[in-house]
Amino acid sequence: MSATKTREIAAVRRESWGSLRKLPSGRWQARYPAPDGEMYTARTEDDKPLTFLTKTDARAWLASVHTKIARQQWEPPSVVAARRRVVAEAEKARSIGFSEYAERWVALIRTQPNRSGRKRAIATVRSYKSKVDGYLVPEFEDTPVRQIDEARIREMTDRLDAIPSPLNPKSKFNGITRPVLIVLMMILRQAAREGIIPAAPNISIPKQEAVRHDADHDEDEDVASPEQVEALYAATPDRWAIMVLFAAWCQLRRGECLGLQRRDIEWHDDATATLHVRRQLNANTGDYSERLKSDAGRRTLSIPKLMIDRLRDHLRDNVATEAKAPLIPTNIRGSVPLSNTRWGYVWADARDGVADLRPRFRFHDLRHTGLTIFAQEGATLAELMRRGGHADIRVVLRYQHATMARDRELADRMSDRVAEQINATRKV
């Protein structure tokens, strides 16, 4: 037998249980028979090779393993390591900083459907991300998500409340705190679903308050007079002036106006026509979208006769002959619809050119003007919902005051007529 083989045999020391072997490096290796019938070499809890500086250390380790086996507490090193990895990953997740988790959340909602099962619109995701980047990340930075509690959120809320309203510096509310809190709670509730925190903090979201107007604002101030609508029409460049009439007298939203095409006008004769609302122009992508604000947004409307002649002239002078030609083109008879951004500048110039118009009067207020007058003519709530493309009756209830004003007018006229007939009878 060679001297080398003799030294290797001599290096292996049989113990009462298991075996020890001295390695060429001088360190000691331990091996043992496991309950599963396999021989195992000493390994760490992370399932990596384990050697010992001295024979005594190796023998002590063997004894500890023997004790675990006797107590039926032994597990294969690979199983122990896998469990430790799961625990470590869970602990790392629970320690994740807000900035990192918020970025992950934004990526999640780009593809995850909302509660109604629909994919979120690009504008919605962009709005949420603006709250994250503009307010939440600067506030919490790398603070672990599990450290964001009610007290910490109240501190942030106080700072947000102190920001003046960009729309109305005199307003008690800035229109910032509520949407930022909503996004924060959405993030924390998702963290709770993932087990990163036990539960989302119990924070109540403040109700929506008017920002553009002062507390004593009268909603009737949002309604333009027919003369002011005419003045806005005259102040708008000819090729886009029809936008004013579509908003006021057909009660369309801005995106719905910009999304109209020639084929959406159905002529019955020279004096009557129907408008089909089928799409809108997406303010974020600049593309047409058949996904309207709600399913109720897809509707068919009678075009008021007061704008029929102007609409016919507009189609003749400004719109290309193709069925899909935009009704509000960037250039005369062009194939590209006017963008939301450019219309914003056009509208601002037109509004500034009209005297006695309430400050901060929005293009959307023209729609409110038309629906208010529609209500004053006796339209029911169902008719108002259909005309305006509303899905929520609570939104339409704001026009009930106009309906009641019309109701009072009719009641007074009825009263006068009845009284007149009664008086006439008494005289006979």
Report the chain's C-alpha Rg in angstroms: 37
pLDDT of residue 393: 82
Q: What is the pLDDT of residue 7?
A: 47
Given a contact cutoff of 8 angstroms between Cβ atoms, the answer to whether 198 and 192 are in contact is yes
Pairing verdict, β 12-14 and 19-22: antiparallel
* Cα distances (angstroms) measured from residue 141 to each of 137, 145, 148: 5, 10, 11
pTM of the model: 0.58
274-308: per-residue pLDDT in tens?
A: 999 999 998 877 889 888 877 888 999 999 999 99
Between strands 273-277 and 265-267, the pairing is antiparallel
Torsion of CA 343, 349, 352, 357, to 10 degrees: -30
User: H-type helices in 112-225, by residue range?
Assistant: 122-131, 137-140, 150-161, 177-193
Q: Where are the domains of the chain?
A: 3-79, 98-193, 220-406
Q: Which portions of the chain are predicted below pLDDT 70?
A: 1-15, 90-94, 165-174, 208-221, 403-404, 406-407, 428
Nearest to 83 by CA among 50, 45, 49: 45
Over residues 222-255, the pLDDT tens digits come to 789 899 999 999 999 999 999 999 999 999 999 9
How many whole angstroms separate alpha carbon 51 and alpha carbon 95? 33
What class has domain 220-406?
mainly alpha
